[in-house]
Structure 1
Amino acid sequence: MAPPTDLAVRSSLSSLCTRCSSRFVRQSRRPNGLLQAPPQRWLHSPTRTESFARLVPVVGPVPTAQSRRFSSSLAQRLFGGSRKSSQLENKATEKPVLAPNDLFHSFTNSPIPEIRRRAAFIRQHASCPHHEHHDSGAPAHVDFECPDCGIPVYCSKEHWADDYEAHLQICDTLRQINEDDHDLRSGRGFPEFEYAGPQIEEALVNMTNWDTFLYTRAFQAINDDRSMRQATRLLTYPITIASVLHELSPYDIKSGGRLTVEGLKSFSALRYTLHPPRSGGGQDVKGLRVEPPPVRIFILGARAESSLPRDAWIQLAHLFPRSKFHLIFIGPESMANRDDEFPLPPRTAVNPWGAVVEDRVWPTMKISTIVDYYHTIHKTSYFHPYDPYFDCFVLFHPGLGHPASSHEWEETLPLLLETKAPIIATGYTQADMERDIDWVNRTAAGEFDILLEPGENTFRSLRWDLNDMDPQDISAGNWGVWAFRGKRYEATHKSS
């Protein structure tokens, strides 16, 4: 019997649901025809916290050589130094250091050298939160590790006992952070980092929450809370962008949807480009069609997100299969920890900003990284002209209102508003996000429109992060999201 043709396969797939069609594709790819077990359960987000901390990138082994090639900063945090891809492969195949039921260890006595070094750093820089130090004006560094969470939190056992009721509010979360950090360095396999492939266009994606998204995107079943936290810590970056730009976005203009009228105008323009109608194009001469330019997503102040495994960013291309993307990471820290793999090219007439260009990361995606401030590039008109139908800015945890970083954005913000393109911004916590909004209100009062009302991000990281400078500060990556753009002034005719 002759094998079915591609046309027959596509015809049969179009009549199947998402899960059935995805299983069919998996079965066709596997030599033994075995299918994965269905998910036993789908997990939900933990409660939020009202605190602020700096970004602590989460790392882990990645599934392909291509992914390993672009994740040196993640590998450095996981293995305590930059490694070549072959070394990463060897590390992934070694015997696990810690068993799944043996993940809780005090930071100081951890079997992982990197975590022991982290404990020493906390002791040197973090201050005891006990009120006695505030009253006396004599701060002291933390030294005592809570036996319940295993993290240095107070200067002495007496202060820990005296303030135990306050510490209980975050003790369970700190213990979870402790176990998650040991899990990442345990040496186990990480099937949660094996991402789903291209999406069948007939199968719609449900972006209500993480559970429905992973299920309808045909990810492998994640039946463990910890694995879910590790997976979402990396996926939160591309999926946060997609959740705002996609036509099936959970943010709408209905009651409680948080999208404003101005937001509907701006994002409808981008969605028109990202969800083009079928053109009837083909591979022969008669099928040639004019194609639009790629959608440019400028990720400013890029740090850990520029080092993510490229398999994670490719998920963005899978959600918009008929569009092309050019991701542009811009910021002085955008190449941190990647110098060994990607020495910065010289600035030439052809490449005036010394950009590291990763062409054809996916057939419809290209990634560029520029180590410089955006306002410096903007003034040269290098990326001009800007088009609201093709351009979008993203600021992951920018710290617009933070005293240590707000001065870096003073020159950039007016130029961003000048482009009239949407600006998507996230925050570690509600307090962090509100501080950024207050700063924008003070700096550009009356010159911007809110596109997406600030609130909790549907696709925030489910994993909590610890601020090594202050263990009392815990946060989640991309906890909140909001969007704005420069105000548009509509011209009207006045009758005489």
Structure 2
Amino acid sequence: MSTKYTCIRCLHALRTSSRPTAPLWRPISIRLSSTTSTPKSHQATPAAAKRQISTFQETTPEYDFDYPGKAASLKRRADGKSDVSRLIIGQNDLFHPLSESPIPAMRQRAAFMKAHAYCPHPEHNRTRIALSEEDPERRKPTNGGVPPAHVRFECPHCGVPSFCSEEHWADDYEEHMKICDTLREINEDDHDLRSGRYFEEYDFPDRYLEEAAVNFTNWDTLLFTRGFEAIDQERSLRHTTRLLTYPYTIGSILHEYSPYGLRNRMTPEGLRSFTALRYTLHPPKPGDGPAMKQIKPIPPPVRIFVVGARAESSLPRNVWEQLAYLYRDVTFHVIMIGPESMTNRDDEFPLPDRTMRNPFGAVIEDQFSREMKISTYVDYFHTLHEARHFTPYDPYFDCFVLFHPGLGHPASSHEWEKTVPQLLETKCPVIVTGYTEFDMQRDIDWMQKQVGKEMDILLEPGQNEFRSLKWDMNDLDPQDISAGNWGVWAFRGKRYEAQTRG
């Protein structure tokens, strides 16, 4: 490699030197919102269409679960091995600088980063407000420095455009090495997803033995007790957890064998709320049979409201089925709600017309499983709530989930101002996840500022036991590294109990 500022000997020493130990994440989570236009067929109402729709998912393709490698992974030879003719790159050739990748999508990603991401070197002036003490932007001067410059130089170790020049890369090498190994891991994982190989780790099992207890200690024990095939490689495990983190984050909190208890972050109010749901999720055996006298009434399904749904609404349905397989004799109705819940899915599910029987044009999927139904509403929750579309709510059967909602993000908090008070009115538990500790704490601070004492904390904020093990990179800022559902907490509207005297 020819270098302009760094001599060959120094460059070799930098590559082979021991790297400082550093955390694999940075608690900054600078989610710059990119305004996206919702397809005309997916616009909710004329009033809602005028509102800005902010997306806080990554701009990188891994947040779109319909990645190019997915189609190839569904095809294999009769002997169960990958079709070599479909392979783009081999497993021993996954590392490529993004701009020199054999995959066009990765080269386009590099071009996007070079056009939008800024150099993190402290000589440049700030391009935004520093949001925390750990934010790398705080190292930059407000003014008086070098004008901001886009990233142009790709680090030879991680292959990601990181600095505007090799001179700044070499000068800030020690700081960059805190995340360099993680960036290389992201680079190789994303190339693997598009390599064209058959993904055996995506062959999820069906219902396992009813007598087998599920162990929620960690990912390894959960996958083993659920009957998954052994996953020997860490990369395959990262790909698997990237999908399963959504259903298992919910299941790990609601299950009777949950790792969260009074000794591990759950509050007494949380135990009361989740015990009500567990009473429904773990019923005694009904003793029904084929005879007329053995017919038993079937309870209604447990409703899981995913409010502000985005990429999770496009997950393969066999992924969501894994939630139902954690329980027996229970049916689920997963309800995806949000103006972006059907984005880029027009070819898969064209939105039906709004009729008297379907006033909100819901897309209903009820043929893929006997134990689960999924309904998708391309609308805001407060619109459906004001129409009393889902009432009444029952704490024994209903639960709300907000995946990376961005409650406290300046670009999206206004979209939650009407929804949050209505969530509190239901008195049902609300599970919330965050990309990083900073992202999660920002949401909590916003909630406490908005509703004050009208909220009960059910699960103290902390790291999610079943977070995604795959790291993601923000293309608008390569220094911003996060993991899907990294943190989790839960709240509920405060209950006031009347007491009689006398």
Query: TM-score normalised by the shorter chain: which range applies?
Result: 0.7 to 0.9
CA distance in 2, matches of 1:475, 1:246: 27
1:313 aligns with 2:320: yes
1:105 aligns with 2:96: yes
Q: Secondary structure at the match of 1:462?
A: coil
Q: Secondary structure at the match of 1:402?
A: coil
**Structure 1 residue 124: deviation in Å?**
1.1
Q: Please show how residues 31-430 of structure 1 align to structure 2 within 5 Å.
A: 48-52=25-29, 53=31, 54-56=56-58, 73-75=64-66, 77-78=67-68, 89=75, 93=83, 94-134=85-125, 135=141, 136=145, 138-254=147-263, 257-430=264-437
* Deviation string, structure 1 residues 154-208 (Cα, Å, up to 9, x no partner): 1111111111111010000000000000010111111111112102111101001
**Structure 1 residue 211: deviation in Å?**
0.7
TM-score, reference length from structure 2: 0.83
CA distance in 2, matches of 1:153, 1:246: 43
Name the aligned partner's letter for residue 101 of structure 1.
N
CA distance in 2, matches of 1:488, 1:234: 35
**Structure 2 match to 1:32:** none
Aligned CA-pair RMSD: 2.0
Gaps of 5+ in 2: 1-22, 32-55, 126-140
Gaps of 5+ in 1: 1-45, 61-70
CA distance in 2, matches of 1:196, 1:47: 31
**Structure 1 residue 248: deviation in Å?**
0.3
Report the CA distance shift for 1:415/1:250 in structure 2 as closer, same or farther (over 3 A): same
Q: Secondary structure at the match of 1:484?
A: strand
Q: What percent identity do the matched residue pairs reach? A: 61
TM-score, reference length from structure 1: 0.84
CA distance in 1, matches of 2:387, 2:173: 56
1:459 aligns with 2:432: no
CA distance in 2, matches of 1:359, 1:373: 22
Report the CA distance shift for 1:230/1:291 in structure 2 as closer, same or farther (over 3 A): same
CA distance in 1, matches of 2:428, 2:438: 26
CA distance in 2, matches of 1:417, 1:486: 4
* Deviation string, structure 1 residues 102-138 (Cα, Å, up to 9, x no partner): 1000000000000000111111111111111123262
Report the CA distance shift for 1:207/1:88 in structure 2 as closer, same or farther (over 3 A): closer
**Structure 1 residue 78: deviation in Å?**
2.2
Q: Secondary structure at the match of 2:290?
A: coil
Name the aligned partner's letter for residue 267 of structure 1.
F
Q: Secondary structure at the match of 2:353?
A: coil
**Structure 1 match to 2:5:** none
**Structure 1 residue 86: deviation in Å?**
10
CA distance in 1, matches of 2:442, 2:27: 12
* Deviation string, structure 1 residues 271-296 (Cα, Å, up to 9, x no partner): 00000111101233222111110000
**Structure 1 residue 430: deviation in Å?**
0.5
**Structure 1 residue 253: deviation in Å?**
1.1
Name the aligned partner's letter for residue 206 of structure 2.
G
Name the aligned partner's letter for residue 335 of structure 1.
M
CA distance in 2, matches of 1:190, 1:59: 18
Question: Is the CA contact (8 Å cut-off) linking 1:452 and 1:484 kept in structure 2?
Answer: yes
Q: Secondary structure at the match of 1:326?
A: strand
Q: How many residues align structurally?
A: 432
Report the CA distance shift for 1:57/1:478 in structure 2 as closer, same or farther (over 3 A): farther
**Structure 1 residue 95: deviation in Å?**
2.8
**Structure 1 residue 339: deviation in Å?**
0.7
Report the CA distance shift for 1:156/1:137 in structure 2 as closer, same or farther (over 3 A): closer
1:492 aligns with 2:499: yes
Name the aligned partner's letter for residue 109 of structure 2.
R
Q: Secondary structure at the match of 2:120?
A: coil
Report the CA distance shift for 1:368/1:56 in structure 2 as closer, same or farther (over 3 A): same
Name the aligned partner's letter for residue 342 of structure 2.
M
1:447 aligns with 2:454: yes
Q: Secondary structure at the match of 1:74?
A: coil
Question: Is the CA contact (8 Å cut-off) linking 2:24 and 2:179 kept in structure 1?
Answer: no
Q: Secondary structure at the match of 2:367?
A: strand
CA distance in 1, matches of 2:148, 2:316: 41
* Deviation string, structure 1 residues 337-362 (Cα, Å, up to 9, x no partner): 21111111111111111011001321
Q: Secondary structure at the match of 1:249?
A: coil
**Structure 1 residue 47: deviation in Å?**
5.0
CA distance in 2, matches of 1:325, 1:110: 43
Name the aligned partner's letter for residue 207 of structure 1.
F
* Deviation string, structure 1 residues 417-473 (Cα, Å, up to 9, x no partner): 000000000000111000000000000000010000000000000000000110000
